[in-house]
């Protein structure tokens, strides 16, 4: 029972993280966007992305993926799960993206060399929100090294200090997700650490105290030392967001089992399909002069519901599993 519960609260945290990311992409097109919408985006993305990375690291260790499949098969499965959707959906969206750019009077090139460069620079790619997939694929490739390092207390401390120090270095390059890997490897590692050290019980009280301390420190840094300690501020923000998300998922754990069963396997498809659909819907709302708040809510609700429905249908009818792989199932 304990094993099921622990996975359940982690799965719930992953789902909520995905929903927060979709919400952060729901800002309507146009001007006069309320401040609370634009100001919330960094917090939503910090909470969503860090929690998803932490949970991915936790589950990779906890579900014994390498022991179950072997290193080579584990890498193959991870790359298949994450990179096939990245390349397939990006290429499938080339023409729709081209026509959307025409409507918006935004330059968009179909030059093969430029497209290839975009694909290896995920943050600037055809669908920039998909940067998360290759980043997670690359980070996951470090799992065998992490497992060995986590067996030694000394190595665990050294790696933790190195990964923390990487949060303070300037960006190096967006090619091959280098900057994102360096920034998010810490959180994946932390999740793997908690999964490895099963004696460290993750309790709601501990998470709540961590969240309160984190948010207090973040507010202090924001108002007093923003210009001098911006890197530290963002590190504290991510830690506070993660602690808050874990507090929420642990507190609601007993009520979320059926929710996780219905939504859990469709987390990646919802994330992958949401933004293209939101982009099209956003243009329609802009042309119709739709009220901003209503557009914001509909972009989130429909941006979650429609990809979920598509994923469920594909899951039921796709016997070859080709479409399932393309959308990340």
Separation of CA 328 from chain center: 13
pLDDT for 160: 92
C-alpha to C-alpha distance for 172 and 314, rounded to whole angstroms = 39
pLDDT band of 76, cuts 50, 70, 90: confident
C-alpha to C-alpha distance for 1 and 13, rounded to whole angstroms = 18
pLDDT above 70 (res 113): yes
pLDDT for 198: 64
pLDDT for 174: 85
Mean of all residue pLDDT scores within the chain: 86
The alpha carbon torsion through 106, 112, 117, 119 (nearest 10 deg) reads: 80
Instruction: Kindly list the domain boundaries of the chain, sorted by start residue.
Output: 2-200+256-326
* Mean pLDDT value of segment 245-252: 88
* Mean pLDDT value of segment 248-258: 82
pLDDT above 70 (res 79): yes
Q: Which residue has the higher pLDDT, 135 or 322?
A: 135
- pTM for the whole thing? 0.88
pLDDT for 297: 94
pLDDT for 227: 55
Nearest to 130 by CA among 257, 30, 269: 269
pLDDT band of 228, cuts 50, 70, 90: low
pLDDT above 80 (res 224): no
pLDDT above 60 (res 166): yes
pLDDT above 90 (res 53): yes
Q: How do residues 182-195 score in pLDDT, each as one tens digit?
A: 999 999 999 999 88
pLDDT for 225: 62
pLDDT for 199: 59
pLDDT band of 229, cuts 50, 70, 90: low
pLDDT above 90 (res 134): yes
pLDDT band of 66, cuts 50, 70, 90: confident
Q: Which segments of the chain does DSSP mark as H helices, in order?
A: 2-24, 35-62, 65-69, 71-92, 94-104, 112-119, 132-140, 143-149, 153-165, 178-196, 204-224, 230-251, 257-263, 267-287, 292-317, 322-326
C-alpha to C-alpha distance for 317 and 250, rounded to whole angstroms = 35
In sequence order, which residues have a C-beta less than 8 Å from that of residue 62 and are 6 or more positions away? 6, 7, 10, 195
Tokens representing residue 230 in the block: 């911006």
* Mean pLDDT value of segment 310-321: 86
pLDDT band of 95, cuts 50, 70, 90: confident
């Amino acid at each position: 029972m304990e094993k099921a519960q622990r996975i359940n609260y982690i799965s719930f945290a992953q789902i909520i993280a995905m929903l927060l990311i979709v919400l952060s992409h729901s800002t309507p097109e146009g001007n006069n966007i309320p401040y609370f919408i634009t100001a919330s985006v960094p917090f939503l993305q910090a909470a969503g992305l860090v929690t998803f990375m932490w949970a991915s690291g936790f589950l990779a260790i906890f579900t014994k993926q390498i022991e179950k499949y072997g290193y080579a098969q584990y890498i193959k499965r991870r790359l298949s799960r994450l990179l096939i959707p990245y390349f397939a959906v990006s290429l499938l969206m080339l023409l729709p993206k081209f026509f959307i750019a025409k409507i918006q009077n935004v330059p968009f090139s179909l030059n093969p060399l430029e497209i290839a460069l975009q694909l290896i620079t995920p943050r600037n790619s055809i669908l920039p929100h998909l940067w998360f997939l290759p980043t997670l694929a690359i980070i996951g490739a470090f799992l065998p090294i992490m497992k060995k390092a986590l067996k030694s207390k000394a190595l665990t401390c050294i790696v933790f200090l190195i990964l923390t120090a990487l949060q303070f270095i300037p960006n190096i390059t967006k090619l091959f997700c280098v900057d994102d890997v360096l920034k998010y490897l810490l959180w994946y590692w932390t999740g793997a650490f908690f999964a490895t050290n099963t004696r460290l019980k993750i309790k709601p009280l501990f998470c709540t105290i961590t969240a309160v301390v984190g948010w207090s420190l973040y507010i202090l840094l924001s108002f007093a030392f923003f210009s001098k300690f911006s890197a530290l501020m963002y590190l504290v923000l991510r830690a506070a967001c993660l602690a808050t998300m874990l507090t929420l998922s642990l507190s609601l754990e007993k009520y979320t089992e059926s929710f996780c069963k219905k939504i859990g396997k469709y987390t990646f498809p919802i994330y992958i399909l949401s933004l293209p659909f939101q982009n099209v819907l956003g243009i329609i709302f802009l042309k119709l002069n739709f009220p901003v708040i209503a557009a914001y809510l509909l972009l989130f609700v429909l941006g979650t519901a429609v990809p979920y429905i598509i994923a469920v249908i594909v899951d039921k009818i796709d016997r070859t599993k080709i479409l399932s792989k393309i959308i990340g199932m």
